[in-house]
Structure 1
Amino acid sequence: MLKHAVIPLLVGAGLLASASSAFGASNLVFCSEGSPAGFDPGQYTTGTDFDASAETVFNRLTQFERGGTTVIPGLATSWDVSDDGLTYTFHLREGVKFHTTDYFKPSRPFNADDVLFTFNRMLDKDHPFRKVYPTEFPYFTDMGMDKNIAGIEKLDALTVRFTLNQVDAAFIQNLAMSFASIQSAEYAEQLLEQGKATDINQKPIGTGPFVFSKYQKDAQIRFKGNKDYWKPEDVKIDNLIFAISTDASVRMQKLKKNECQVTLFPRPADIEPLKKDTKLRMPEQAGYNLGYVAYNVMDKIKGSDAPNPMAQLKVRQALDMAVNKQQIIASVYQGAGQLAVNAMPPTQWSYDTTIKDAAYDPEKAKALLKEAGVKEGTEITLWAMPVQRPYNPNAKLMAEMLQADWAKVGIKAKIVSYEWGEYIKRSKGGENGAMIIGWSGDNGDPDNWLGTLFGCDALAGNNFSKWCHKPFDDLVKQAKATSDQAKRIELYKQAQHILKEQVPMTPIAHSTVYQPMSASVKDFKISPFGLNSFYGVSVGK
């Protein structure tokens, strides 16, 4: 599990002193919940990683407006789409500077070469940089972009053309997502020459509002405001510091003492006291998220020679109906969660309201297990997240309650956990059994739920159930390949019914998102995607 932050070291160094006293009004400390696995956004899929890289150091061709789902220009000032929907021509922003640091000094501004490097590295497994530093790009492949992008051309220094094999109705939204952050081709070339290709993931260079300065695992990340940012009005903080602590109570105490000015994921029991503190603000938002249990459906779980009972539909149906969701929501979410029935939140367009949950029925669950030939006392592993996320305030407690629910029907669940980065890595490799996980939407499109989490292209990525069901997958792919929204809705609804019938997961709850912060913080906006962005934010007295 993640270690607690090294608090004495941070305080002793003066790093967590109040922004208004030790640093001055243009500095902000963010009490974050975990250490990033790295700083190369293309490699990762979690908000913890994106907060520390994509939301600070990098920009993308398109971007989402702060606090919303509308796509606006980013490093591309405009784009043209061909009549057949297969060609996208991007006109790039002129004069954008890459960061200057003690490890890199750019000789030129951002141009088309950087776009080509960024996407060709993800597209081509034989790309020179990828050969030296082999890595995977799970979001890119989960959404099938590796198969759908036929090619990228540099038309001139400030014009790039993407050609697709088939229509992708969410292509512009996808390019605004964190994984599509634009890297410096010049920096990559320097790293290759120096034999330091892995530094792209440890010492990032981007065009974003904050410049990476220092990282101490499980303790702190330091950034400096980018004085050369192409949108100077968005940089109002001189020093941005992530103070890392996995313990929610520690984070809230630091907020109250003004040792940090923004934090996240309060414990449900802390919400009312925080709301009453006159020195704080507690904005909230209905969660565009889902906490769920994924069932690994592989015949044999990686690392085990024993048959996997969850490969059987009847076993998954039994586990699903043995879960007392109402009790879990009452204990884990404590009034800040809404019962989840489907694989996406009700606010997502195309959500099918006709889908109903199987009733909580332990006796029927026992009968199904018997029909499946599963003996009483059969053991499965139940993976529990080591961190809080927007969709789950207490995975450990949820795991204990699931363990108790399944024990009542004769299933013995052994709870397993790892440090967050290891948890994700091992589960993407198929080592997990039943797994507590969740999702915050990334781009406002239904494919980001159904395709990214349960599509066949996502088997090595965010499809933690390892469930590839062709009738479902065909519908999702058809929906993505048409721009007719009415047709897309119809196809996605059919897909939702199949997913509910096949039970690769048990949806638990949609969590309300609370963002505790000092009353001195100005213009912070809660992201519907569960990210924490500090551009445009300031701190006053």
Structure 2
Amino acid sequence: MRRDLLSLVLCLPFYAHAQSLVVCSEASPEGFDIAQYTAATTADASAETVYERLVQFAPGSTRLVPALAERWEISDDGLRYTFELRRGVQFHQTPWFKPSRDFNADDVLWSFQRQLDKQHPWHALSPRGFPYFEAMSFGELIDKVEKLDDYRVRFTLKHPEAPFLADLAMGFTSLYSAEYAGQLLAAGTPDKLNSQPIGTGPFVFQRYAKDAQVRFTAHPTYWAGKPEIDKLVLAITPDPNTRLQQLKAGVCQIALHPRPTDITALRQEPGLKVLELDSLLTAYVALNTRHQPLDDVRVRQAINLAFDRQAYLRAQYGEGNASLAVAPYPATLPGFDQGQQPWPLDPARARQLLSDAGHAQGLKLSIWTRPGGGPTNPNPGIGAQMLQADLAAIGIQSEIRVFEWGELIKRAKNGEHDLVFMGWAGDNGDPDNFLTPNLSCAAAESGDNQAGWCHKEFDLLVREARQLTQPERRAALYREALAIFHEQAPWIPLAHPKQFAVLSQDVEGFILNPMGSNNFARVRRVR
């Protein structure tokens, strides 16, 4: 049986329920212990369903609002953040865990200390480490996390950090049950934290059928009010065409990330509605500077000069559905240099640079991509073939290799690739969120900087900008950093796509998130 038909069959029992919601999603979650991962599909299946954080973003915006903290105070010097925790918040009850108490300060301490303290009994139990925590240099930022009483916690920083509060709304700062963790450790089954998650969020995890679907039920005692959807299914459907077929057949009610080139036709489809949002998304190709000859800036510049990105933009996104990328983040964020021009299409200059670098006779590289398609790479096969053809025109022979999304991320983190198509959704509306996790020296060390690029001057500028609160001074430092990025060319910046979703007419309350993740807590179906 084909996998897409298997997904349909598995979804039918949930779909039959009047208050069910089936979402056709583009990829499998890497796991459910969100602190170990960075992919948006993993966040949808964990951070946006099972877990919550001290603060959160208001739906459809980057505005911070209370979540598990009702209020907070920041000291005048920007070093101390004191949070008053929400009372009466209940953890999920499941066949594998029955909580004996409500959420409190002990859970906040456990959630941060296991990432922060190398002596913590859970620190070494994460086989993937804590990539976001490490890439964001939180270990060098946070001096201590203290429990003032059962419902007050204080973070003390070693230096001011402008985006710190917004960082606390990101998935990697999700709050876990210390009681559940203690139970797992005592039973010798800590791996279940990643397969049987427990949180305070709007949905309770039921089970995961690998590469097929994730099932949830509504949290009946959710502090913000029980969701109207009783049962939620994420049906894993990598192919965008199959997602749309299942939506039209009534198998799912939301199809995420349709191909932008299909949007015009979809707007004419009866019984469907299309949501659109200018999002904080970046599509790029990372050039692995840890591999020769990509460690030579002339080779990286030649590759940028060889690729016809305007043709790529038209083929992937159609008319008006994306803008050409010049920098790692969109022009709407501070520090973007409006005068910076993208690398022009100039094969002759590219060939000369290759010759200057000692590769007049050409060279061989690999191009890595994924199957299916998502918001930053709607048609991976076509994109990789276009890059392959343009590189061949300047004497670079390349082999295209296709990996399932989770495998692609794992192998890219290990630095096995030469060129890899990637995308990024900004998690907090701050420029730093595009630069530090993807291009810093700390991220190169952790492997989450797929270019493996560590430029000391760039790194210092970004670090300094993070510690400032004056917007104009931060923006000036980012402009300097982006000039270095452009000249050093560790990426081929591709596009800043718009975000789309297609819904059945009976779905209401679903709001696209500019950070690219999807939350279904306030979704309802009307008849």
User: Which band: TM-score by shorter chain?
Assistant: over 0.9
The correspondence of residues 144-293 of structure 1 with structure 2, limited to 5 A, is 144-232=137-225, 235-293=227-285
Between the aligned partners of 1:309 and 1:11, the Cα distance in structure 2 is 46
Between the aligned partners of 2:162 and 2:131, the Cα distance in structure 1 is 20
Between the aligned partners of 1:388 and 1:10, the Cα distance in structure 2 is 17
Task: Say yes or no: does 1:455 pair with 2:452.
Answer: no
CA distance 1:282–1:205, change in 2 (3 Å): same
- Deviation string for 1:399-438 (max 9, x for gaps)? 1100000000000111122221111111111112111111
- 1:387 is displaced (CA, Å) by 4.2
In structure 2, what is the equivalent of residue 500 of structure 1? 486
Between the aligned partners of 1:296 and 1:180, the Cα distance in structure 2 is 29
> Which amino acid counterpart does residue 478 of structure 1 have in structure 2?
E
CA distance 1:372–1:131, change in 2 (3 Å): closer
Task: Say yes or no: does 1:16 pair with 2:12.
Answer: yes
Contact residue 385 and residue 437 of structure 1 kept, 8 A: no
The correspondence of residues 369-448 of structure 1 with structure 2, limited to 5 A, is 369-448=354-433
In structure 2, what is the equivalent of residue 469 of structure 1? 455
- Deviation string for 1:135-192 (max 9, x for gaps)? 4111111111121111111110001111111111001100001111101000000000
> Which amino acid counterpart does residue 532 of structure 1 have in structure 2?
N
Between the aligned partners of 1:129 and 1:43, the Cα distance in structure 2 is 12
- Deviation string for 1:470-490 (max 9, x for gaps)? 111110000001111111011
> Which amino acid counterpart does residue 191 of structure 2 have in structure 1?
T
Between the aligned partners of 2:279 and 2:467, the Cα distance in structure 1 is 28
Between the aligned partners of 1:173 and 1:124, the Cα distance in structure 2 is 22
The correspondence of residues 310-389 of structure 1 with structure 2, limited to 5 A, is 310-335=294-319, 336-389=321-374
Between the aligned partners of 2:396 and 2:212, the Cα distance in structure 1 is 39
Divergent runs of 4+, >6 A:
none
Question: Normalising by the residue count of structure 2, what TM-score does the alignment of the two structures yield?
Answer: 0.97
> Which amino acid counterpart does residue 17 of structure 2 have in structure 1?
F
Contact residue 261 and residue 317 of structure 2 kept, 8 A: no
In structure 1, what is the equivalent of residue 503 of structure 2? 517
- SS of the counterpart of 2:521? coil
CA distance 1:32–1:109, change in 2 (3 Å): same
- 1:10 is displaced (CA, Å) by 4.2
Between the aligned partners of 2:244 and 2:92, the Cα distance in structure 1 is 33
- SS of the counterpart of 1:379? strand
- 1:349 is displaced (CA, Å) by 2.3
The correspondence of residues 124-143 of structure 1 with structure 2, limited to 5 A, is 124-143=117-136
- Deviation string for 1:26-82 (max 9, x for gaps)? 211001111111001111101110000000001100101111100111101111111
CA distance 1:132–1:477, change in 2 (3 Å): closer
Q: 2:31 aligns with which of 38, 41, 44?
A: 38
Between the aligned partners of 2:260 and 2:481, the Cα distance in structure 1 is 34
Between the aligned partners of 2:348 and 2:360, the Cα distance in structure 1 is 15
- Deviation string for 1:459-502 (max 9, x for gaps)? 12431111110111110000001111111011111111111111
Task: Say yes or no: does 1:97 pair with 2:83.
Answer: no
- SS of the counterpart of 1:515? strand
CA distance 1:133–1:440, change in 2 (3 Å): closer
- SS of the counterpart of 1:516? strand
- Deviation string for 1:499-537 (max 9, x for gaps)? 111111111111121110111111110000111110111
Contact residue 351 and residue 360 of structure 2 kept, 8 A: no
Percentage of identical aligned residues: 45
In structure 2, what is the equivalent of residue 305 of structure 1? none
In structure 2, what is the equivalent of residue 536 of structure 1? 522
> Which amino acid counterpart does residue 418 of structure 1 have in structure 2?
F
> Which amino acid counterpart does residue 338 of structure 2 have in structure 1?
T
- Deviation string for 1:341-398 (max 9, x for gaps)? 1111112222111111222100110011000001433101111133422222112211
- 1:9 is displaced (CA, Å) by 3.8
CA distance 1:73–1:108, change in 2 (3 Å): same
- SS of the counterpart of 1:198? helix
- 1:269 is displaced (CA, Å) by 4.0
> Which amino acid counterpart does residue 23 of structure 1 have in structure 2?
H
Contact residue 18 and residue 259 of structure 1 kept, 8 A: no
- SS of the counterpart of 1:489? helix
Contact residue 341 and residue 357 of structure 1 kept, 8 A: yes
- SS of the counterpart of 2:22? strand
Number of residues paired by the alignment?
525
Task: Say yes or no: does 1:28 pair with 2:21.
Answer: yes
CA distance 1:168–1:392, change in 2 (3 Å): same
- SS of the counterpart of 2:397? strand
Task: Say yes or no: does 1:68 pair with 2:68.
Answer: no
Q: 2:468 aligns with which of 482, 488, 491?
A: 482
Moved more, 75-84 or 125-134: 125-134
CA distance 1:485–1:30, change in 2 (3 Å): same
Moved more, 335-344 or 166-175: 335-344
In structure 2, what is the equivalent of residue 6 of structure 1? 3
- 1:215 is displaced (CA, Å) by 0.6
Between the aligned partners of 1:346 and 1:80, the Cα distance in structure 2 is 32
> Which amino acid counterpart does residue 268 of structure 1 have in structure 2?
P
Between the aligned partners of 1:344 and 1:10, the Cα distance in structure 2 is 35
> Which amino acid counterpart does residue 107 of structure 2 have in structure 1?
D
Q: 1:297 aligns with which of 279, 286, 289?
A: 289
Stretches of structure 1 that go unaligned for 5 or more consecutive residues are 302-307
CA distance 1:291–1:5, change in 2 (3 Å): farther
Between the aligned partners of 1:350 and 1:445, the Cα distance in structure 2 is 10
Between the aligned partners of 1:402 and 1:221, the Cα distance in structure 2 is 35
Between the aligned partners of 1:202 and 1:147, the Cα distance in structure 2 is 30
Between the aligned partners of 2:431 and 2:46, the Cα distance in structure 1 is 25
Contact residue 69 and residue 443 of structure 1 kept, 8 A: yes
Between the aligned partners of 1:135 and 1:128, the Cα distance in structure 2 is 16
Between the aligned partners of 2:314 and 2:127, the Cα distance in structure 1 is 45
Between the aligned partners of 2:310 and 2:7, the Cα distance in structure 1 is 41
> Which amino acid counterpart does residue 472 of structure 1 have in structure 2?
F
Q: 2:48 aligns with which of 48, 55, 72?
A: 55
Stretches of structure 2 that go unaligned for 5 or more consecutive residues are none
- 1:245 is displaced (CA, Å) by 1.0
- 1:120 is displaced (CA, Å) by 0.5
Aligned-pair RMSD on alpha carbons? 1.5
- 1:18 is displaced (CA, Å) by 8.2
- Deviation string for 1:93-150 (max 9, x for gaps)? 0010000000000000000110010000111222112334544111111111121111
- 1:278 is displaced (CA, Å) by 2.1
Moved more, 129-138 or 118-127: 129-138
Between the aligned partners of 1:367 and 1:23, the Cα distance in structure 2 is 64
CA distance 1:343–1:131, change in 2 (3 Å): closer
